[in-house]
Chain A
């Protein structure tokens, strides 16, 4: 069964780009456009195998989303990747501390992204 990946990004272009590369690698892709929407989707039963989130978003940013997700028992261990243009080490550490699994700097090619995901999701 194909793995489900949940992408959170406020830019529809970015969502589309990531989605295209992941769908062609046989993943099921779900999307949300900010942290609040993402949380509500996740709370209403969406159970992705991996979450990819942007950091800078309206309403609720990626950091807060990660913090919230790690506080929820059902998402304590779901891998969360951040996909962002930020490359500051402080930010990276902050995300790590909050529980992010990995940090990818935009823009990323589809092949690289799929490679990282396959490492995180064995058998995908």
Chain B
């Protein structure tokens, strides 16, 4: 077959499997837009792939499926059980087509009717979804654009507190632009911590956002010390003031709607006086005057009063800030007396004016015309400390801070220290004032007090350090509107100006650290250490080779023996033995490693059960809950695969015959929902699979009667047989208890086939059942079947192998301890009667069992099924690892042996099939 088609088939099967699983998860109430999207994507991909080939039947059905899932993920139609049924049917159909393509290379034309029917059924859902039984609706999925724009369209509520971070000059500018008819928006953007790994560049996103006026980068939590800083975690917050249209913003942030809030800004929110309170409100006179002018409708006088006051006051004061706003408001809203009054009144408390309960604008001031004319004259003259510092000034300021840092770092004599600390604090306060950072004054004074009392510079130093990192972030933020290249330049400049920046490595500079990620291991591992797909044949070859190796290394001990006994070179024999232990260890490790490669989790088989149980129980009208346990238990791939069919059969049986309908269950006083548990556990070198149901169990009386009627057992057996043995008769060939052969189980495959399949991989199957309580089936499988451990026993001068899984123990039994019970012999072993059988008799060898010098017989106690039997042999030898090969040709008719194995010395060991000979 052409490799492309082969690839298509294998990928399609994987996708179908995955679709089935996801639909099951959805049905179990995991209503999750992620899952729905995933199903859509899978169907979509399948459809796309099928278009590569000429399979119109497949494409048509999948296309309908894709449309339906698309509607579901957009929330147009709800996800319903009927929908799932249809989709699952399509998945089955496609799977069936895949099988047909694989076997015949094409699709028969007869399937086009099915394809049309399935497509029509799905498309029908698109129209008439209303009557469907709603399981869940994909409402939590909403296209990004909607989410973002609905938020931005929200009516302005409270002003975001963070607006105060915007410098006054910018706010004033924004205010003017808003009054000029532009819309203002305040954006806060908190990128996900892991966003760098998703290839996001939040800084770039923000920098590219349309028409920004001002931006700021903050951090969500305190910066850790540089050494502990995880530069790959994004803990940044962005704030942005823009004049872009809400639609534009929604469009720009459409990939991160959940991380962004966009608030339309009421211009009044920007009127936020800030500054040094200078000891508290003492402006009662001015407030009274100003209010008087306002009430009297005399804007000229009011403005003059405000300007005079402003000239007299230190520009860094809160008062000055409020006055500047007052002047601006008088320019732009001369008629809005309520607003002006609020602002003036706010001077009494020095708290920002409250704009929320503002009444409608009052009548225009009489001199409005004149006022606005004059007021517009020279807004630029208004002294403001918020202006941007020129680059030179900024550098000077940075140098000043740097100098303070150095002064603080000096070793000092105590007598001078207090004075020096005070001097530094003084300089810092002045610097901060120039920078417009009034609140810092309080912090510096606290730090100074601490420093003085502690007698060391540390508190001031740490304040300085914190400020420097804040400063750096602000520097970056100020550059946001600027060109990308300019930013990079400024950033590197500020880096060199302020060498000790704790935050620097986390700053998401678009052209720097993010792209630089490529140099680190985290990314590299994505591409190089994933799982690789290896052809099964190659692994099998490795497995065979290691098997050969295990056997050939076993030749070394014989060689050593020969060297010593035959050639008398003891020295060489010892060296060979030493070398053998080394090789042995390596080979064992290697074998283990190769075995690991072949190990698959049982979930490989289990994953199809939810669907199976769902379908069957629906059909039978039974209510069944399936519990899967231990899905990650691992076993050899071949064994797991052999397990699939028997398990399905057992599950079908349980559902069909074991579990009752809800009505029957209620009548017996059980919960209406039946439980079926499938559990995998590992015990020593075996995997145990338990299938437990709480159904009606198996009635031994019925089994006995049926078995007798069908001639499986004769009359004498019928009387003697125990209930336990009777139940296990279901494993007998040609046994089926179903009164009428149902649609599900009873397809001519009985439990005997299940047993045969399990025994084929050297497994055992056990059944226990209690009428009315339920049935428990246990399948025990070897972890791997490639290399078998066998115990070598000797009887009549021949050696035989006994598979270790049967061996319970080896004991020496004195001949006089053996009792005769009727014709049989038995021995009591720790209070338990163990029937004895001589291997010689079983194999029809003429010799009698030989006892050792103490007249003790060698008894190998073996467990076959649930019975324990003592096998009398002449002698025990060691256990060996062998590769068991089934007998071929005429020898294959010998039931007494399960196979043969090659020994290290070249001889052949026959391995006994205890199930047959006992």
Is A2 in the interface zone, CB < 8 Å from B?
no
Instruction: With both chains docked as a complex, state the minimum distance between the C-beta of A113 and any C-beta of chain B, in angstroms.
Output: 12
Instruction: With both chains docked as a complex, state the minimum distance between the C-beta of A104 and any C-beta of chain B, in angstroms.
Output: 12
**Which A52-75 residues sit within 8 Å CB-CB of chain B?**
56-60, 64-65, 67-68, 71-73
Is B111 in the interface zone, CB < 8 Å from A?
no
> A35 contacts B199, CB within 8 Å?
yes
If the complex has contacts A64-B199, A85-B47, A106-B51, are A36 and B526 also in contact, measured as CB distance less than 8 A? yes
**Which A24-55 residues sit within 8 Å CB-CB of chain B?**
35-37, 39-41, 43-45
Contact of A44 among B7, B199, B524 (CB under 8 A): B524
- Chain A residues in 8 Å Cβ range of B47: 85
Contact with B along A77-100 (1 / 0, CB 8 A): 000000011000000000000000
Is B4 in the interface zone, CB < 8 Å from A?
yes
A94 and B731 CA atoms in complex are apart in Å by 65
Instruction: With both chains docked as a complex, state the minimum distance between the C-beta of A111 and any C-beta of chain B, in angstroms.
Output: 14
Is B831 in the interface zone, CB < 8 Å from A?
no
Please list 29 pairs of residues, one from A and one from B, whose beta carbons are closer than 8 Å in the complex, sorted by A's number.
Answer: A10-B45, A12-B7, A14-B48, A14-B52, A16-B3, A16-B4, A17-B4, A20-B4, A36-B198, A37-B526, A39-B199, A40-B518, A40-B523, A40-B527, A43-B515, A43-B517, A44-B523, A44-B524, A44-B527, A56-B44, A58-B38, A59-B198, A60-B198, A60-B199, A68-B201, A72-B515, A73-B515, A85-B44, A107-B52
> B523 contacts A67, CB within 8 Å?
no
A16 and B53 CA atoms in complex are apart in Å by 13
Contact of B11 among A11, A20, A60 (CB under 8 A): A11
Is A13 in the interface zone, CB < 8 Å from B?
yes
**Which A1-26 residues sit within 8 Å CB-CB of chain B?**
10-14, 16-17, 20
Instruction: With both chains docked as a complex, state the minimum distance between the C-beta of A32 and any C-beta of chain B, in angstroms.
Output: 8
Contact with A along B509-526 (1 / 0, CB 8 A): 011000101100001101
Is B8 in the interface zone, CB < 8 Å from A?
yes
- Chain A residues in 8 Å Cβ range of B523: 40, 43-44
**Number of interface residues, chain B, beta carbon within 8 A:** 30
Is B598 in the interface zone, CB < 8 Å from A?
no
> A106 contacts B48, CB within 8 Å?
yes
A106 and B47 CA atoms in complex are apart in Å by 10
Instruction: With both chains docked as a complex, state the minimum distance between the C-beta of A97 and any C-beta of chain B, in angstroms.
Output: 9
Is B41 in the interface zone, CB < 8 Å from A?
yes
- Chain B interface, DSSP helix/strand/loop, else mixed: helix
> B49 contacts A13, CB within 8 Å?
yes
Other than the given A16-B3, A16-B7, A17-B4, 7 more pairs (CB < 8 A) read A11-B49, A13-B8, A14-B45, A14-B49, A20-B4, A67-B255, A106-B48
> B41 contacts A58, CB within 8 Å?
yes
- Chain B residues in 8 Å Cβ range of A67: 255
**Which B388-424 residues sit within 8 Å CB-CB of chain A?**
none
> A36 contacts B199, CB within 8 Å?
yes
**Number of interface residues, chain A, beta carbon within 8 A:** 33
Is B708 in the interface zone, CB < 8 Å from A?
no
If the complex has contacts A40-B523, A64-B199, are A56 and B518 also in contact, measured as CB distance less than 8 A? no
A16 and B2 CA atoms in complex are apart in Å by 12
Is B204 in the interface zone, CB < 8 Å from A?
yes
Contact with A along B243-281 (1 / 0, CB 8 A): 000000000000100000000000000000000000000
Closest to A73 in B: B511
Leading 3 A-B pairs by shortest Cβ distance: A43-B518, A107-B51, A13-B8
- Chain B residues in 8 Å Cβ range of A43: 515, 517-518, 523
- Chain A interface, DSSP helix/strand/loop, else mixed: helix
A36 and B200 CA atoms in complex are apart in Å by 10
**Which B1-19 residues sit within 8 Å CB-CB of chain A?**
3-4, 7-8, 11-12
Contact with A along B352-386 (1 / 0, CB 8 A): 00000000000000000000000000000000000
A60 and B198 CA atoms in complex are apart in Å by 8
Which of B8, B47, B52, B204 has most chain A Cβ within 10 Å?
B52
Instruction: With both chains docked as a complex, state the minimum distance between the C-beta of A4 and any C-beta of chain B, in angstroms.
Output: 16
- Chain B residues in 8 Å Cβ range of A35: 199
A114 and B200 CA atoms in complex are apart in Å by 32
**Which B779-820 residues sit within 8 Å CB-CB of chain A?**
none
> B48 contacts A45, CB within 8 Å?
no
A44 and B519 CA atoms in complex are apart in Å by 7
Residue ranges of B at the interface with A (Cβ–Cβ < 8 Å): 3-4, 7-8, 11-12, 38, 41, 44-45, 47-49, 51-52, 198-201, 204, 255, 510-511, 515, 517-518, 523-524, 526-527
Instruction: With both chains docked as a complex, state the minimum distance between the C-beta of B119 and any C-beta of chain A, in angstroms.
Output: 16
- Chain B residues in 8 Å Cβ range of A14: 45, 48-49, 52
A65 and B49 CA atoms in complex are apart in Å by 22
A60 and B41 CA atoms in complex are apart in Å by 12
> A41 contacts B527, CB within 8 Å?
yes
A35 and B41 CA atoms in complex are apart in Å by 14
A6 and B375 CA atoms in complex are apart in Å by 63
- Chain B residues in 8 Å Cβ range of A64: 199, 255
A13 and B200 CA atoms in complex are apart in Å by 29
A45 and B51 CA atoms in complex are apart in Å by 34
> A85 contacts B510, CB within 8 Å?
no
- Chain B residues in 8 Å Cβ range of A60: 198-199
A71 and B517 CA atoms in complex are apart in Å by 15
Instruction: With both chains docked as a complex, state the minimum distance between the C-beta of B461 and any C-beta of chain A, in angstroms.
Output: 39
> B11 contacts A13, CB within 8 Å?
yes
- Chain B residues in 8 Å Cβ range of A41: 527
Closest to A19 in B: B4
> A44 contacts B201, CB within 8 Å?
no
If the complex has contacts A16-B3, A40-B527, A106-B48, are A71 and B510 also in contact, measured as CB distance less than 8 A? yes
Closest to A107 in B: B51
If the complex has contacts A13-B11, A14-B48, are A44 and B518 also in contact, measured as CB distance less than 8 A? yes
If the complex has contacts A16-B3, A17-B4, A36-B199, are A71 and B45 also in contact, measured as CB distance less than 8 A? no
Contact of B4 among A10, A13, A40, A57 (CB under 8 A): A13
A73 and B512 CA atoms in complex are apart in Å by 11
- Chain A residues in 8 Å Cβ range of B526: 36-37, 40
Instruction: With both chains docked as a complex, state the minimum distance between the C-beta of B25 and any C-beta of chain A, in angstroms.
Output: 16
Which of A17, A40, A60 has most chain B Cβ within 10 Å?
A40
Instruction: With both chains docked as a complex, state the minimum distance between the C-beta of B885 and any C-beta of chain A, in angstroms.
Output: 38
If the complex has contacts A43-B523, A44-B524, are A71 and B52 also in contact, measured as CB distance less than 8 A? no
Instruction: With both chains docked as a complex, state the minimum distance between the C-beta of A82 and any C-beta of chain B, in angstroms.
Output: 13
Closest to A14 in B: B49
Instruction: With both chains docked as a complex, state the minimum distance between the C-beta of A121 and any C-beta of chain B, in angstroms.
Output: 24
Instruction: With both chains docked as a complex, state the minimum distance between the C-beta of A83 and any C-beta of chain B, in angstroms.
Output: 9
- Chain A residues in 8 Å Cβ range of B518: 40, 43-45
A12 and B659 CA atoms in complex are apart in Å by 43
A72 and B201 CA atoms in complex are apart in Å by 10
- Chain A residues in 8 Å Cβ range of B201: 68, 71
A11 and B42 CA atoms in complex are apart in Å by 9
A78 and B527 CA atoms in complex are apart in Å by 22
Closest to B528 in A: A44
A72 and B570 CA atoms in complex are apart in Å by 73
Contact with B along A105-116 (1 / 0, CB 8 A): 011000000000
- Chain B residues in 8 Å Cβ range of A68: 199-201
Instruction: With both chains docked as a complex, state the minimum distance between the C-beta of B540 and any C-beta of chain A, in angstroms.
Output: 23
Instruction: With both chains docked as a complex, state the minimum distance between the C-beta of B10 and any C-beta of chain A, in angstroms.
Output: 8
Closest to A45 in B: B518
A39 and B522 CA atoms in complex are apart in Å by 13
Closest to A44 in B: B518
A20 and B51 CA atoms in complex are apart in Å by 16
